[in-house]
Amino acid sequence: MSLSTQTDSRANAPATSAEIDASCRAPVLFLFTSAALWLVAAAAIGLIASLKMHQPLLLVRGAELTYGRVLAAASNAFLFGFAAQAILGVTLWMLSRLGGTPLVAPLVALLGAVVWNLAVTAGVGGILAGDSSGYEGFEFPGYAVPALLIAYTFIALCALATYFQRRERESYVSQWYLLAALFALPWAYLTVHSLLLVDPVRGVAQAAINLWAVAVLREIWLGGSALAVIFYLVPKLLNRPLHNRGYALLGFWMLLILGGWTGLYEGAPLPLWMVKLGGFASLLMIFPLFVVAWNLHATANGQVVLGAECRVLRFAGFGLFAYLTATLVMAMNPLVSAALQFTHYTAAVKHVAFYGAFSMAMFAAIYHIVPRLAGTDWPCENPMKWHFTLASAGVLLVALPLAVGGWKQGMGLLDPSVDFNQISRTALMPIRVSTLGEILWLAGSLLLVGNLVRLLARRFCPCAALAAWVESNGGAR
């Protein structure tokens, strides 16, 4: 937007942080706020799905709220309402900051974000109305997809233009991961849309494509974005350079090459060579996992990352350790898949990856970035502290019971002397505990929205009286 500043004498000098933040303000704040609102929506719908696992007679009046629909609606609201917008917000801001250049065409990005929200609303509504495409992770009905892609193109073009206008020539690790994620989503989505919905391929290739695309979303899109945030925040907040660029390069390319393959898990209904290759890719993921862990360990150089004093770093640290745990457990998948593939264990692992690793990293990013855009720090740290407590307890209360319960379930299914109904009954208690976890997560998400609204009202609300009202009702300062 501020082309005049680029043509003057300091054309190649990096822009100041204040200039960059001002250029990102409208689109990124809009993306983060709507991401937080979708997070609440996803958590609320997800809570219904969780309740239905042990209260099957709840909300059974119409087809809209049957288990199959609410589960898909919750997962898609999370992926495309929350995750996509949080990632895009981080991408726009971080590519500008790390490139030392203001965001290109912020109003185009803002327009894209508005259209994106409309498309996601149509998609989630379509799923609840029964128009789901039926492919896991990509359940949005076909009519929501063109708008999604157009909106995404708007935002992605701004991000790419910003990257190519960067004044810091050498790119940083976070930029690689964010650019990979920027391409991974449309790549996976267009593949699924064109090969499974528009002109479907035949037979076993359908399952293979769906599993591959889900893995691309999980490993490269969500995982890569989480790593981008962690690789940014850890050196930044500890004020130390990243230990080794070569390690990061190895980890990055291995994730990119292996990511999609890991979806073809051992036990999937596919030709044997595919699942063997998938299992092998999962195992090889130990290498990028190791270099990421080692690189950050050496960067921290003894300073605490997990449970750090700094709230933002605490979120990032939780995300990092959840990422390492989830990836390690998934690498072990070929060993346990035969016993556990049809149990709650898989749901537990996915929960750690999506909520423990990815979401916590995004919360760290939001808590770090928003005050800079608003130009004022969080009014008080307590709600942030509570959000961390609720969110981490929520993740653990869902993941741990389901993992243990799923393990028991798997062992029971392998034992021919155990009655199937008995196995289902023993799985009930872990599911009830996981519902409690979902409630805590929902409460944490509401706190995030509350925090954002308070800060934004304080900073931007034109009506001082309303601002004062929000302030006085927002709890003790």
User: Does 448 contact another protein by CB under 8 A?
Assistant: no
Distance (Å, whole) CA 454 – CA 268: 47
Per CB under 8 A, which region of 28-36, 144-152, 317-325, 373-381 contacts another protein?
A: 373-381
Residue of the chain from 177, 232, 252, 354 that contacts another protein (CB under 8 A):
232
SS3 273: helix
Stretch that binds another protein, among 1-9, 78-86, 238-246, 441-449 (CB under 8 A): 238-246
């933040």: which residue's tokens? Answer: 21
Closest CA to 366 of 164, 225, 260: 225
Compute the least distance from the CB of residue 421 to another protein, in Å.
Answer: 36
Which of 56, 62, 241, 416: binder of another protein (CB under 8 A)?
A: 241
Quote the least distance from Cβ 76 to another protein, whole Å: 30
Q: Which residue's CB is nearer to another protein, number 273 or number 420?
A: 273
Distance CA 53, CA 49 (A): 7
Q: Look up tokens 């890569």; give the residue.
A: 224
Restricted to residues 246-265, the positions that interact with another protein (CB under 8 A) are: 246-250
Count, residues near another protein per rule CB under 8 A = 49
| CA 14/CA 4 separation, integer angstroms | 14
Q: How far is the CB of 349 from another protein (least distance, A)?
A: 22
What is residue 125's three-state secondary structure? Answer: helix
Task: Determine if 242 is a binding residue for another protein (CB under 8 A).
Answer: yes
Cβ-contact 78, 110 below 8 angstroms: no
Q: What is the CA radius of gyration of the chain?
A: 22
Render 294-325 in DSSP notation, one character per residue.
HHHHHHHTT---TT-SSHHHHHHHHHHHHHHH
Of 5, 376, 389, 422, which lies in the binding site for another protein, with binding defined by CB under 8 A?
A: 376
- Residue 58: how many other CB atoms lie within 10 Å: 11
100 binds another protein (CB under 8 A): yes
**CB under 8 A: which stretch of 77-85, 168-176, 188-196, 338-346 binds another protein?**
168-176
How many Cβ atoms from other residues are within 10 Å of residue 425's Cβ?
Answer: 10
Cβ within 8 Å of residue 455, ≥6 positions away:
370, 371, 374, 376, 378, 379
Binding another protein by CB under 8 A: which of 65, 277, 324, 443?
Answer: 277
Piece of 3-11, 278-286, 321-329, 462-470 that binds another protein (CB under 8 A): 278-286
Query: With binding defined as CB under 8 A, does residue 15 bind another protein?
Result: no
244 near another protein, judged by CB under 8 A: yes
Alpha-carbon span 300 to 240, nearest angstrom: 8
- Residue 345 interacts with another protein (CB under 8 A): yes or no: no
Interface residues with another protein (CB under 8 A) are 17-18, 21-22, 97-98, 100, 168, 170, 172-174, 202-203, 205, 231-232, 235-237, 239, 241-250, 271-273, 276-277, 280, 283-284, 287, 290-291, 371-372, 374-377, 459
